[in-house]
Amino acid sequence: MDYSEVAAKYAELEAISGRNELTRILADLLKSAPSAELAPLVYMTQGKLRPDYEGVELGLAEKLALRALATASGISQDRVYSVYVKHGDIGTAAEELLKNRSQGTLFSEGLTLNRVYETLLRIARQSGSGSVEAKLRELASLLNDATPLEAKYIMRTVTGELRLGVADYTVLDAAATAFLGGKESRPGVERAYNVHPDLGFVVSSAASKGTAGVEEVKLEVGVPIRPMLAERLNSPQAIIEKMGGKAVAAEYKLDGERLQIHRNGDDVKLFSRRLEVITSHYPDAADLVREHVSARKAILEAEVVAINEDTGEYLPFQELMHRRRKHGIQQAMEDYPVALNFFDILLAGGSDLTAKPYAFRRKRLQQAVEQTPRTRAVPSISSSDPAELEKFMEDAITDGCEGLVVKDPGSPYRAGAREFAWIKLKREYRSELTDTLDLVVIGAFHGKGRRAGAFGTYLLGTYDGKRDVFTSVAKVGTGFSDENLAKFPRLLEPYESHVRPPGVESNMVPDVWFRPHLVIEIIAAELTLSPIHTAAMGRIRPGAGVSLRFPKFTGKVRDDKRPEDATTVEEIVGMYQRQVKRVE
Ligand code: ATP
């Protein structure tokens, strides 16, 4: 497939914003691709190269991409930079600069989708000494053979700025339209995606074998499933009512890190909440699974928690962060030992258990997990009495937990869904805002006084999944330790942008913009309406967005969340409505 065809469709996609139109054009594009190129096409259309869980990151620094552009166009770096600043978009700058390049290159070879894809994959995988120069050469050579329009999209792709507004769900709709006869088939495609979250794979299955191909997609050891998520309510009473008044299963909500554990004999792989492989952070947890889980082939979920080895006490989440390192893990395992609290079993001995009710899975879990000082099925009770839940909640908090997760005993495991089959109840819910929020850093303001020379305040956004954009919701300047103040600029530097990044909507203009990447946890006094912030704009009142009163950083960096996993606009609207109800 020629890359020029792809670029022409991208231009069409970019020009429209209606979801139906977007789906139709994308469906046409998918139909026109030969089957072997379908998966790469799907990844690239979302600005990616592989499914998220493989962790292949493209995001080339802006500076390097501009250098490659200068090399390919034969135009000085200064001029390249000024054209970039003029347009505020690296793609448009490339398009303009290459339009004016000398004749000779016009006779170069046409680009194929495969060549662009393979080159970008090589660029992403280069690391170590000499890799910067190698990346530069690869990119310059691609740009050299690109038409101006192709260069526009290649530049946006390598810098992580290709945002065509094509969210995961739009791809699923397009696949249903292109290969399964219409959008009505979307639930089947969505199910396949939830148990095997690789859009390239799911779309290819639909294309090659139609509905049967999609139905064949099954839970597989080694491929992470999208996690089931919890809704929130404020009281045991409300939760029991919501679940129909019957006995519910209440479990401790531990304050650690979620692990999705895939075991095949002695081979144990650990995935994080965002489905990245994190086995290397917890080799001891993998050993605990080998030693104390009886099922040899299984997928389990557990919360890994830091413990005080002498007292057996649970320690706060921050302690676990010492385990997120590349080197010295042996020492970190000794200094920060962990325990596993298992809370679900999705596959055992080759049988998929996700369709079975919670009560069944819980029994199976208890059989599979040996109770030791380091491993157990998470403490749980069954009750329909609010007072009993209240008491269990107190116990949980005394034992160092955040609260409870209450589960509907009749519910199957609903991959990828945030529904009322699981409801969390936290201590904070009683006071302040109903919950903490996980927000994306989209900008920063220079500090004054003690913070001069550093960033003093950060601009934060929420995710609007329907439109695949990030909208501003608050500025936060409190709650940062000196260590964090020093660390954040380093963490954010690769995502710095001199212009408002595509996919970010904000009326407030910070000193520096960041492409959405870093997610941090924020607590606030309440949600308020704001004429400035764009989150949930017009949803509660015309002309007003939603913002936070007295936002404060809790100290938790949520690197277990992708920016798309941050608190969504829908959740914020829900929180706002619940808050209004409480006040009334
Ligand atoms: P939060 O910020 O509250 O952890 P989240 O967005 O990460 O929320 P939710 O699904 O809303 O995820 O809350 C459930 C999270 O709580 C799980 O991701 C898991 O890490 C943790 N957890 C702790 N104990 C349990 C439990 N017994 N059952 C399910 N999840 C649990």
What 3 state SS string does 128-155 have? CCCHHHHHHHHHHHHHHCCCHHHHHHHH
H helix count then E strand count, the chain: 20, 21
pLDDT digits (tens, 9 = 90+) for 251-297: 999 989 999 999 999 999 999 999 999 999 999 999 999 999 999 99
Q: Whose CA is nearest to atom 4 of ligand 1?
A: 255
pTM tops 0.85, yes or no: no
- How large is the average pLDDT for residues 545-562? 91
Between the CA of residue 45 and those of 253, 312, 352, what are the distances in Å?
A: 38, 49, 32
The fraction of the chain above a pLDDT of 70, given in percent, is: 96
**368 band by pLDDT with thresholds 50, 70 and 90:** very high
**391 band by pLDDT with thresholds 50, 70 and 90:** very high
**127 band by pLDDT with thresholds 50, 70 and 90:** confident
CA separation for the pair 538, 287 (Å, rounded): 52
* Whole-number pLDDT of residue 102: 58
Tell me the CATH number for domain 229-430.
3.30.470.30
CA separation for the pair 388, 380 (Å, rounded): 12
Pairing of strands 248-253, 380-383: antiparallel
Report the amino acid identity of residue 31: K
Whether residue 445 contacts residue 385, with contact meaning beta carbons closer than 8 Å, is answered with no
Domain boundaries, the chain: 229-430, 437-583
Q: Whose CA is nearest to atom 12 of ligand 1?
A: 229
Q: Whose CA is nearest to atom 18 of ligand 1?
A: 258
Q: At residue 319, does pLDDT exceed 90?
A: no
Whether residue 257 contacts residue 323, with contact meaning beta carbons closer than 8 Å, is answered with no
Taking 3-state DSSP, the helix, strand and coil percentages for the chain, each rounded to the nearest 5, stand at: 45, 25, 35
**533 band by pLDDT with thresholds 50, 70 and 90:** very high
Q: At residue 176, does pLDDT exceed 60?
A: yes
Whether residue 183 contacts residue 169, with contact meaning beta carbons closer than 8 Å, is answered with no
**472 band by pLDDT with thresholds 50, 70 and 90:** very high
Which two three-digit tokens encode residue 313?
């006490």
**454 band by pLDDT with thresholds 50, 70 and 90:** confident
- How large is the average pLDDT for residues 349-358? 95
Conformation bin of residue 449: beta by default, left when phi > 0, alpha when psi is -120 to 50: left
**466 band by pLDDT with thresholds 50, 70 and 90:** confident
Mean pLDDT over the full length of the chain: 92
Given 9, 48, 152, 253, the catalytic residue: 253
Q: Answer whether 229-430 and 437-583 agree in fold.
A: no
User: What's the full length of the chain, in residues?
Assistant: 584
CA separation for the pair 158, 156 (Å, rounded): 6
**108 band by pLDDT with thresholds 50, 70 and 90:** low
Tell me the CATH number for domain 437-583.
2.40.50.140
Q: At residue 104, does pLDDT exceed 60?
A: no
Establish whether residue 319 lines the binding site of ligand 1, counting it when its CB lies within 6 angstroms of any ligand atom. Answer: no
Establish whether residue 414 lines the binding site of ligand 1, counting it when its CB lies within 6 angstroms of any ligand atom. Answer: no
CA separation for the pair 42, 46 (Å, rounded): 7
253 is catalytic: yes
Which atom of ligand 1 lies at the shortest distance from residue 258's CA? 20
